[in-house]
Chains A and B, each alone.
Chain A
Amino acid sequence: MRLRERNYGVLSFMSRWPTIFAFAAVLGGCTSQPESGGEAASVVLVQAVPGELLKSAWPARMAHDDQRSRFESQDGWRHMFEYDLSQALGVFSVEADPQGLSRVHEQLSALYTQGALLAANATVGAYGVGALETDPDDLAYLLGVSEVIRGNREAALKYFEEVSKLPMTFQPQAKAWHRALSEPGLPSLEVLSAISGSLGEVIPGQDPAVSPVPHFKLLEKSEKARLMGANDPTALLTRAAWHQAAAVQVAPESDREALGQFQLRYGLDRSRSSEMHGAVALDDAWLFCSSNLAASDAAFVAEAMTQGIAAVSKWADKSVLAAAVSPAIQDGKVDPQVVMDAGFGLQKQIQRVMADIAGAEAGFHRPFAQRARIAVLQAGMIVADANDQYRDAGILRLNALERMETVGIEPVFALSVAAWDAGNRSPLRPEEILHQFRSTYPALSAAKAPLDALHLRRSRNAGPANAVH
């Protein structure tokens, strides 16, 4: 795992980065000075966040060899760095790293949660908004589940009542969902398993087998009466709950509160986000390569999801991300362009701090700092979303995804973008994202059928278009 060329960092990926950084460092001597040729001319670099606060960010701390060495010595962390959760799960399960293993399970839980949201948004977009007379009546069940996932419980109940008037196909599942909706929040793993089928005992380090798709074949009400493949999004929720249970089971007792905060970022139940959150002490295993740059960022993000700009002002002196986003709050709004500038400013500031700590620039500094830049975009997006700036949040969301192309696409975030797009009835980008990840995470295939249907229905109604060269 340890690289042959120690100068260029920790992870094999880094070896691809040009040696320019080190070369520039030699030429420039003291690397605390801004680089002469590497900065965007358009951005006046300012200190994005106070220096002391910045030192708490994981990319800055990882400039210290001793703090980085524990991650260099384990293949599991290399896979985490490359956002390969599937490989990381296998390695952590044998390397006996409970925090690493818990974090992978937590990420997989988030991945399947967003997969469920993708399936739900596509289902509603295709069979709800875009309903056709030829659609099988049984789709009411899938629409009901989808509305639960989207947080529309009243709409879901109506669909489940509709199912009760239909022949048997989905009646047991609809009844179970109906009962589950009498309680707040999402159903437990036990209830979900009863609906979509058990995934077996929760054993950390494992990934349950995937049922083949389609889950069902429903008869279309057309002359040709074709069978239409359909999948129950409940299956993805069940898988998410299974991994969540595994994450909790393996996490050290002292880390359980932090785990709860992390789960909020991509969770469906927003009721806990409105609570006040305190910064909890966190081991670097929870932060390395994550979008939380420091421990207090997780608490800030948890609050920002419902409190928006109020959370920024509250956390600006404690959270790196809040401090970075803070200048972008102007007249009660998030200015997406300022968030982007702040992200870039933080990247450059972190690179300088890393060079100061290490005594010279190294190849891995830039990609680490780029992740910090992306984290700022994501934080700005969360704040804008909570501030009812849907389009501005979208701009930041897409920008964050674009920036990931340089350092590696984080599957959970990518799936969340896909789910958001599908919620806008836009199928193309979600199809590409799903295609990219479903060979590694085959359970996500459950989202393909509704997404295909959304595309086909949108396409049939779209303006004419020719193939163009």
Chain B
Amino acid sequence: MALKNTVRAIIGLALAAMGTGATLAYFEESIPMSLNPLYAKTMADYRAQELIFDRLFYVDAVTNELRSRVVSKYELADFGRAMAVTLKTGIRWHNGQALTSKDVCFTVKAMLDDRTPSPVAAHYREFIAACDTKGPQVAVIRFNRVLPNPRERLSFTILPASEFKSTAISPDLQFSARPIGTGPFSGKRGLRDVNFDAFANGHHTPKVVQMQLQEGGDPLVQTKTLINNNVQGIIVVPPPQRPDLSASDDVAMKAYDLRSWWYVAVNPNKPALTDVRVRQALNVVLNRNELRKYSIGVKPGEKNSPCEFISGPFISASPYYNSEVPVQPNSNLGKADSLLKAAGLAKAGGAWQLDGSKVTLKVGMLASLDREAPDLLSQVGNQLGAAGFDRLTLKISADEWDNTVMAGNSDFDLIIGKWSFGLVEEVNELFHSMGRQNMFRFKSDGVDKVLAEYNDAVTDTEQRDAYHKLHKLLSVELPYLFLWKLDTRSAWRTEVRGNIVAPYYYFTEIDSWSIEN
């Protein structure tokens, strides 16, 4: 079997080499935390996984048409409470085995298994009830209710049954670093890079032989490295670097449709931050115009800025954004003083104190974000300092972020972060008292009630109104200080051809990519 796989891989590489042949190296925001699709936590995870796996159904990046590379036929069954999918024949896993209906049902069962602590799977449990095989090619996926258009929901990644001992899949398996998929590339994660090798298969014909994901360092170095053709692409180009790259005919800037917004999360469990007036004071301490100018390079009033202030947990173009809630572009230190005094803080020697002790704010930011918004952490720290807060600023490693911050166990007072979304902009998990991504266990009965309204909404008007209400409520309670949305742009060398960038998943159309020698 091993020999067969080696031969298959060599054929894959040879076929790809006949097309154009070369290695495509690119800078990512960070090294993926996991290559197991059940445990995707960062956009770098999703993008890398898109190269290795197939999703049951996906959306064409150009026409938005719902398609599948692995399903040849589908039909509704059981009066709309099930869908039978017939798999294409001849599709092989990277370990050489054939893709069968058993794999599809294994994936479904793994997601339904309570012992699989996957946030991705948790959502599927809300509407998938079971999966049965009918022969090697047909899987019947059963729902707990009639779904209007089930194909649109079935975008999960298919996992190989042969690689797991049971349907209880934990995040720490070797599979997370050396996964087996049916996608156009096999992938292996190292400490500082991820290598992808083209894999010959009936349903994928990658023209690129090898890809190499490297963790991007200093943005200026990334830019120079790209211009000098030592890498061929940068996934996220910070705004200050964009003019240099746009000025080069060797590089093409690519739009990447991703809805990202930035925030400062506030820990309401810290004594100094429990009182909402303190959070409101911090909101007016921040001078977002200055932060944006020094970190993103956008001056106040600049037209068509890639960075636009927000007052709530949605980007301004979203239907959920409540435009009646004003943004706070400038600081208002007088108002901050009044709010802090009303909350019982006192200023002594220019520093704020609570119950006679100096208030020290421990501020953290995911280290990789410093590339997209350089110096944001220190700028925020400086503004807090100028307003009279003692502060400690720290960059947070990816591991600490994952194991401590997102696990709700960090002792930070403030955390600077960024959330990204695709078509679905749900924020319930961020703000509900029981939310899986509620990093400081923020609890508000009012917020929980509005989120319940959102969940119970029958019409889209009801749903939108609930989120407008949420936006307004959050702008008062301020579990987050909302900063801005920031457009994402990539840059690729012009030798890279046919490089259609898919919204959110990025590499969905990788088969059309090639490198011109």
Contact = CB atoms under 8 A, between A and B. Distances in A.
Contacts of B497: 42, 337
Contact of B253 (A20, A405, A425, A456): A405
Contact of B46 (A394, A435, A468): A468
Contacts of A41: 229, 250, 494-495
A460 B465 CA distance: 15
B464 to A, nearest CB: 6
A451 B254 CA distance: 24
A435 B314 CA distance: 13
Contacts of A228: 459, 461
A330 interface: no
A390 B235 CA distance: 28
B423 A459 contact: yes
B253 A464 contact: no
Contact of A391 (B63, B120, B494, B516): B63
Contacts of B149: 461
A445 to B, nearest CB: 11
Contact of B464 (A406, A426, A456, A463): A456
Contact of B494 (A42, A390, A455, A463): A42
A348 B249 CA distance: 10
Contact of B119 (A43, A337, A395, A466): A466
Given A226-B465, A395-B500, A468-B42, A456 B319 contact: yes
A281 to B, nearest CB: 34
Interface string B415-427: 0011111111111
B458 interface: yes
Nearest to B424: A465
Nearest to A425: B64
A94 B384 CA distance: 50
Nearest to A221: B459
Interface in B100-136: 119-120, 123-124, 126
Contacts of A222: 458-459, 462
Contact of B460 (A403, A409, A453): A453
Most-contacted residue by chain A among B45, B318, B436, B459 (CB, 10 A) = B459
B481 interface: no
Contacts of A398: 62, 255, 500
Contacts of B429: 466-467
Nearest to B127: A464
Interface in A253-285: none
Nearest to B255: A402
Interface in A57-77: none
Interface string B30-51: 0000000000111101100000
Contacts of A467: 419-421, 426-427, 429-430, 437
A165 interface: no
A462 B149 CA distance: 9
B155 interface: yes
B91 interface: no
B63 A394 contact: yes
B331 to A, nearest CB: 25
Interface string A431-448: 110111000000000000
A145 B276 CA distance: 50
A378 B345 CA distance: 62
Interface residues of B, number: 76
Interface string B294-323: 000000000010000000000011110000
B153 A464 contact: yes
A405 to B, nearest CB: 6
B63 A462 contact: no
B120 A466 contact: yes
A463 B121 CA distance: 11
A461 B495 CA distance: 38
A463 B42 contact: no
A223 B401 CA distance: 44
A458 interface: yes
Given A41-B229, A394-B63, A435-B316, A462 B423 contact: yes
Nearest to B62: A394
B464 A42 contact: no
B495 A42 contact: yes
Nearest to A351: B249
B349 interface: no
Interface in A28-47: 38-43
B437 A424 contact: no
A424 B503 CA distance: 14
B244 to A, nearest CB: 9
Given A41-B250, A134-B459, A405-B255, A464 B123 contact: yes
A97 interface: no
A458 B316 CA distance: 19
Nearest to A390: B63
Contacts of B271: none
B152 A463 contact: yes
B419 A459 contact: no
Nearest to A21: B247
A16 B242 CA distance: 13
A372 B494 CA distance: 18
A455 B503 CA distance: 15
Interface in B246-268: 246-250, 252-255, 257, 259
Contacts of B325: none
Contacts of A172: none
Given A42-B494, A402-B255, A395 B250 contact: no
Contact of A220 (B155, B366, B417, B459): B459
A344 B250 CA distance: 11
A179 interface: no
Given A132-B460, A431-B318, A456-B319, 9 more contacts: A42-B494, A223-B458, A226-B461, A429-B257, A431-B319, A452-B464, A462-B152, A462-B155, A467-B419
Question: Which 7 pairs show the lowest CB-CB distances between chains A and B?
Answer: A464-B123, A463-B155, A452-B319, A456-B460, A435-B317, A40-B494, A426-B64
21 contacts: A20-B247, A40-B495, A42-B497, A220-B461, A222-B458, A224-B459, A394-B62, A424-B64, A425-B64, A455-B318, A456-B460, A456-B464, A459-B423, A462-B155, A463-B155, A465-B123, A465-B424, A466-B437, A467-B419, A468-B420, A469-B366
